[in-house]
Amino acid sequence: MAIVEVANLAVKVDDLDGAVAFYRWAGATVTDPEDWRQGRRADVALGPLHLTLFTRALYEDGTLPEGFLHVALFTDDLDRELEGHAVLWGPDVVSGPTFGSRRIAFVEAPGGMRLEFMEQLTPPGVAP
């Protein structure tokens, strides 16, 4: 069991189109916003920094304020990574054209932070 890579930092934004415009103006590569799981999302690549912008987090009831949501981490064994953690949401399989298919789960961490652990099932562009 190992964390193999930081996937992204997740940020909740109320104005996704405005955030996309900001990051494109800053020189980032940004995917077009898409409807996704009761909200909208877009992915940002700004040099080595990868952000995922959401209008609603998977694990929220619609009341989380705008701002930092969680760190997403790739693991080579999701089930072992979750051992001993109180799981906040998941595990579940999610998929999309920009990121393929992943099995993910969220846990709470000290300091009021959340961590997302994810195991890549299929690469981007490959149907689950």
Which pLDDT does position 19 carry in this prediction? 98
Q: Are 42 and 54 in contact (CB under 8 A)?
A: no
Domain 3-122, classified CATH 3.90.1570.10, yes or no: no
**Residue whose structure tokens are 């992915």:** 43
Structure confidence by residue, pLDDT tens digits, 27-69: 999 999 999 889 999 999 999 999 999 999 999 988 899 999 9
Q: How many angstroms separate the CA atoms of 13 and 62, rounded?
A: 12
Which pLDDT does position 53 carry in this prediction? 98
Indicate whether 128 pLDDT > 80.
Answer: no
Note if the pTM is more than 0.75: yes
Q: Which residues contact 8 (CB under 8 A, 6 or more apart)?
A: 43, 50, 51, 52, 72
Q: How many angstroms separate the CA atoms of 31 and 34, rounded?
A: 8
Q: What confidence category does residue 103 fall into, taking pLDDT thresholds of 50, 70 and 90? A: very high
Mean pLDDT (whole number) for 75-92: 95
Q: How many angstroms separate the CA atoms of 40 and 36, rounded?
A: 5
Which pLDDT does position 127 carry in this prediction? 61
In this structure, how many other beta carbons lie within 10 angstroms of the beta carbon of residue 93?
Answer: 13
How distant, in Å, are the alpha carbons of 2, 4, 25 from that of 37? 28, 26, 27
Q: How many angstroms separate the CA atoms of 114 and 105, rounded?
A: 10
Q: Which amino acid is at 83?
A: E
